[in-house]
Chain A
Amino acid sequence: MNRQILFLVWRYISFHWGKSTILLASLTLTILMPTCLAHLTRVFEQSIRERAVTSPLLLGVKGSDYDLTMHGLYFRSGIQDHFAVKAWHDLLNKNRGVSAPITSHFTAQSQPIVGTSLEYFEARNLRLSQGKMFRHLGQCVLGAKAASQLGATPGTSIMSDPENVFHLAGAYPLKMQVAGILERNHTPDDEAVFVDLKTHWILEGLGHGHEDVTALDESNGKILDRTEKNGHGQFRHHPLPGDQREQSGFLSFPRGAGNAPHHGCADLA
């Protein structure tokens, strides 16, 4: 553009500086917004994919891939159908790799409570920054952000949120003892309250402990294992986590599969 026209433009901008500023800001927004949105979408997509890439296989019953992924990887959304716990045990028995159940139906002050097994921490390479891993019914391990949100430290207790105040036959809030707090790893694990699968069943009203789980005596043998001692009925035949409608899925890390991502739904039940 030539000098004289630039001079006139400059004088116009100087004189109508308010109008020009608004116009310039509007133009900048108009031009930059699509670029910024595209960038943010790329960053979001990358962030979403990163977690998916570290989960070689996500198994769930036939249904929505999206719901299964959001439920299994981000502890969000709900899936209506579920596996029987036997399917998970069968997978473990086949010794095809590391697999962990994922079920999340409850919250503690809006932080998702995730029922899983110790294999999950091994597979995700999650380490404790404080305390110990849960070993008793009613104990939980908190993600770093969840601990900060709940203001909890090892030895303190947190309450699960009531599902429905007026549903007298439904699940009641459970007081859970904080066993440990995980190191921050900047994933959805930071926001979760992890409990053993059986504790999650108790939250659902499918089983309950026989002790005051916030004051457990470790010497009395009420240590979590893969037996069915801690609840009523044969957990082996329960769906994951119960025969009520529940959310459930597996995270499976097959041996020899490397990091090749593979997400899908499989009807293993």
Chain B
Amino acid sequence: MEIHIENLKFAWPHSDFRLEIPRLNIGSGQSIAIVGPSGSGKSTFLNLLAGMLPPLSGNLRIHGASLSGMSDHQRRAFRQDNIGFVFQDFKLVDYLNVTDNILTPWRLKESGASIDKPMRDRLEHLITQLGLKPFIHRPIQRLSQGEQQRVAIARALCLKPGLILADEPTGNLDPSNKTLVRDLLKQEASQLKATLVMVTHDRDLVDRFDRVIDFATFQPKQPLTTPAS
């Protein structure tokens, strides 16, 4: 799933923060590591890609679809169909156990159907791959940070998305698990022929990615005009 960005601008109202990307193209199936100092807009960029934030101006096209021209409802539908997102703070649902958390995107999409065999196989595959088998029925609160991280990754991969966005998915893991999660994401993305965009602070992990983008280069010199101002 290719991404084309042209003159993309974003700024938070009543804030000095601003993000300006003159041009950026990411090819289908590529794996991209995004690095940069805190506050440089890495997480904001992922939110823009996921359609959770509307850009201030510019053009953002994913797989030919222009997110800039979509309504909130259309962006949500597009995200549901095409994007898997691993949030920095997981955003797992506290009243669901591990299995149900992983199945949440499927439940929201296939609302009327019962779980079919391909979905059961997919669930089994993810649980095995991410080492979640011992606690599939455990409540989320009783998992460690690392375990919750893996559940969040499994949920993002559940519907075989064409674009995987991961916001510091290795932030809470020990060094060996960091490499494991990165490799798993890369491997899944490769199997699905999906584009992977991963934000990380850890420069040791970026060597296996196709490209590394440093967001320090996207800090504009002049402030942008925000809708509120």
Contact = CB atoms under 8 A, between A and B. Distances in A.
Interface of A: 2-5, 7-8, 11-12, 14-16
Contact of B94 (A2, A5, A8, A15): A15
22 contacts: A2-B111, A2-B112, A3-B111, A3-B112, A3-B114, A4-B107, A4-B108, A4-B110, A4-B111, A4-B112, A4-B113, A5-B107, A5-B111, A7-B107, A8-B96, A8-B104, A11-B95, A11-B96, A12-B95, A15-B94, A15-B95, A16-B95
Contacts of B95: 11-12, 14-16
B2 interface: no
Nearest to B110: A4
B155 to A, nearest CB: 14
Contacts of A2: 111-112
Contacts of B113: 3-4
Given A3-B113, A4-B107, A5-B111, 12 more contacts: A2-B112, A3-B111, A4-B108, A4-B112, A4-B113, A7-B107, A11-B95, A11-B96, A11-B100, A15-B94, A15-B95, A16-B95
Nearest to B108: A4
A14 B86 CA distance: 27
A4 B108 CA distance: 7
Contacts of A3: 111-114
Contacts of B94: 15
- A interface, over-half SS: helix
B143 to A, nearest CB: 15
Nearest to A3: B112
Nearest to A7: B107
Contacts of A7: 107
A163 B104 CA distance: 76
Interface centre among B94, B95, B96, B112 (most CB of A within 10 A): B95
Interface in B96-122: 96, 100, 104, 107-108, 110-114
Nearest to A15: B95
Contacts of A11: 95-96, 100
Contacts of B114: 3
Nearest to B104: A8
Contacts of A15: 94-95
Nearest to B139: A15
A32 to B, nearest CB: 28
A15 B110 CA distance: 23
Nearest to B94: A15
A15 to B, nearest CB: 3
A7 B104 CA distance: 11
A127 B95 CA distance: 67
B31 to A, nearest CB: 32
Contact of B107 (A8, A12, A14, A16): A8
Contacts of B104: 8
Interface centre among A2, A4, A5, A16 (most CB of B within 10 A): A4
A2 B106 CA distance: 13
Contacts of B110: 4
B185 to A, nearest CB: 27
A12 B94 CA distance: 9
A134 B111 CA distance: 79
Contacts of B107: 4-5, 7-8
Nearest to B114: A3
Interface string B3-45: 0000000000000000000000000000000000000000000
Nearest to B112: A2
Contacts of B112: 2-4
Leading 9 A-B pairs by shortest Cβ distance: A15-B95, A2-B111, A4-B107, A4-B111, A2-B112, A12-B95, A11-B95, A5-B111, A11-B96
A2 B113 CA distance: 9
Contacts of B96: 8, 11
A8 B96 CA distance: 8
Interface in B112-151: 112-114
Interface in B155-191: none
Interface string B46-84: 000000000000000000000000000000000000000
